[in-house]
Chain A
């Protein structure tokens, strides 16, 4: 695949929605910069564009105005989107940058629309994977999914994330608020992610209940992230209330980077009990921030943490509570996990991460 004479090949990215403070959005913007730095022309085309990023991307249907011979499309595959059909129809040489998506089974009984959307995403993956000249996955777990969908050539490449945001100066107001909460004692347990059934925040609430009952009556759980599941969010609030944990479970909604940094700075432990993760950027963010991680080994989680966390095979509250107690009371374990976490974070972040993607792309596209 090479360019017409005298003009560099264009590697344009397509995405369902380009949003700021969003793992895929950040990845797309950073990859655009890396592609340009490597000598390719590169623009972003999206079905939906956040107002704050209006100058960074074009609507996907505007692509013909920018099209040139030799163009290659990189599709940031996260969910179902009109972009998938558009790319299939236009027949551009395609690279799938696969971020994985949550299967319909996780939304069943909660969000009928999400069930339908996830099922459509699976169909779109089956449509595009066999056509792709390269499938880039964020984990071996996702790579196997790409292979099963029919992708013939695949590579595992890192997510380009802004990990530095968790060690940036924290929001002083939020930091003071969290410090005041912590002054009364009790561990601060943190989880970052959308409030949706697949992230299983209700399991976190159960774990908090058991942890408070058995070990630390003052412990708190901070759930940082917005929601796209009204029903699940409502159920979670009701559940916490019925358990007498309404004040101990803090649901912040979406927060700024500075507020996120304050939450990581105040956290004693990062706890994830997600039922499905294609990679898990917040796990790496916790490692960057020096917060020890306790997690279930679902999806790609065990591959993401690569031994730098307590990966539990059982998800019942008694186990989680015992693991939390151990990590909160054992200095040697904390030091071991945070040291391993920082090493692991170095492996998947930094300039080398972008270089790995450029290398993978260079094997199928000439500049």
Chain B
């Protein structure tokens, strides 16, 4: 057997394994799409993609507007009306906080950094009630601008991102800061003229993570939004899920499918930067 033939066989097997794993990974998503056209008994009968009795009820019911108070389009608009400020606040505040911890030596820096890291280990569940009481005092519960959901992000409360950016900043040589200082940059100018451009991929990954988490967040909106007209997508999808009397899964799946489309588009647009961002922070400890 010649070299060429064995190469071909090797390539064949590589592709075979890759395609096989790829199909296994994407299968649930394909199944979800096919299940939006099935009825309940067919959905639970098996995992085949084949649709025996196709129905469009799922999509028809997805347009239900709950007595005119909320529809799918409004719910999507509502979602992005707090997700976008949340993402911007998170990125800006996390970047500034990371700059402080990464580049300045001030008294108590280590202690403060440790305290901040400790908050990373606080589960959201224990914060729910105290936070709710606090925001209730502020009058932010059911605020038309979703204040309780996003304002806290302006204060670098998303520790995970601060930590990620501090690690990433270590890879940016201090020489650049010094060069900037010699050229007459103030601390803030150094940050946004020198460091932020270098941090690009890391900031994109922060923004993407926060975007996905915020779109998927259910408990936050459930606690702080009470007016049906202001419900975001995560609440809207679940409105019909009454475990007691049962519900049509095709509607839920159709809604879920529609609601993840914008997320998929955003992800694909930022994919290259995103993957770079994740791996870049990991190389140097």
**Are A and B subunits of one complex?**
no
Using a CB–CB distance below 8 Å, which chain B residues touch chain A?
none
Using a CB–CB distance below 8 Å, which chain A residues touch chain B?
none
